[in-house]
Amino acid sequence: AQKVTQAQTEISVVEKEDVTLDCVYETRDTTYYLFWYKQPPSGELVFLIRRNSFDEQNEISGRYSWNFQKSTSSFNFTITASQVVDSAVYFCALSERTSGGGADGLTFGKGTHLIIQP
Amino acid sequence: DVKVTQSSRYLVKRTGEKVFLECVQDMDHENMFWYRQDPGLGLRLIYFSYDVKMKEKGDIPEGYSVSREKKERFSLILESASTNQTSMYLCASSLWAGDEFFGPGTRLTVL
């Protein structure tokens, strides 16, 4: 069975610091997808990134970057020069493809509450 | 853009009431999902459906049922609401694995 672990329950940093959110996953499938979502206080889940299991290239999008390492089953998320607006709960999630190519839902980590202090 | 809408943002019900949470998607997606979110537990899958009239249990189906009579609509039903079902409920849809889109959520309070 698949599992996603976000060991950091809450992180608090001062604005402009860099911060890394950890995500470790478990799966027996060779084909799977990893996600990061942001959930601001409004409650809506904001999609940040999707990465498939065959693409281990790191990705950078502005101040956000992701480090995918299959060898350690990790998909970590780094925010560079953090800002107050980055304060939110961040979720890592895993999706496995069924034998028919369909979807049977996401397995989420418990989330990391990121607090950026001014 | 894919749009997933949920009938209510906030809902207050009494213990024992029958509750319907509605979800509609406008992109002809095959798969639809219901999750609940609780502090410290993340999001957990309740039920999902990969076709009209088809349903599959997720990780925590007890106390819930679902209905999918039309492709675009997926309803979550609480037959007899209880206080431990107070939670945030999120609906999602996808065409294939790895393509999930979420609705805005319904915060349900059961008194």
Q: CB under 8 Å to A18, separation ≥6 — which residues?
A: A78, A79, A80, A81, A82
Q: Which of A2, A35, A68, A110 to mutate to test the interface with B (most CBs of B within 10 A)?
A: A110
Measure in Å the smallest separation between the Cα of A19 and chain B Cα atoms.
Answer: 21
Q: Which of B100, B101, B109 to mutate to test the interface with A (most CBs of A within 10 A)?
A: B100
Instruction: Inspect the interface and report whether the beta carbons of B43 and A50 lie closer than 8 Å.
Output: no
Cβ contact A6:A111 at 8 Å: yes
For B52, other C-beta atoms within 10 Å of its C-beta total: 13
Which positions in chain A touch B30 (Cβ < 8 Å)?
102
pLDDT tens, residue by residue, B76-88: 999 999 999 999 9
DSSP string, A62-103: TTEEEEEEGGGTEEEEEESS--GGG-EEEEEEEEEE-TTS-E
pLDDT at B82: 97
pLDDT tens, residue by residue, B40-76: 888 999 999 988 988 999 999 999 999 999 999 999 9
For B2, other C-beta atoms within 10 Å of its C-beta total: 15
A54 touches B at CB < 8 Å: no
- The answer for A23, left when phi > 0, alpha when psi is -120 to 50, beta otherwise, is beta
Which positions in chain A touch B91 (Cβ < 8 Å)?
none
pLDDT at A16: 97
pLDDT at B97: 66
pLDDT at A96: 81
Largest CA distance in chain A: 49
B91 touches A at CB < 8 Å: no
Instruction: Inspect the interface and report whether the beta carbons of B33 and A106 lie closer than 8 Å.
Output: yes
Q: CB under 8 Å to B97, separation ≥6 — which residues?
A: A33, A95, A96, A97, A98, A101, A102, A103, A104
pLDDT at B99: 74
Work out the average pLDDT over B21-46.
93
**Residue B84: phi, psi to the nearest 5?**
-75, 0
Round to whole Å and give the CA distance between B43 and A8: 16
Give every residue of chain A whose pLDDT is below 50, as ranges: none
pLDDT at A103: 63
pLDDT at A100: 52
The residue ranking higher by pLDDT, B98 or A95, is A95
Cβ contact B103:B73 at 8 Å: no
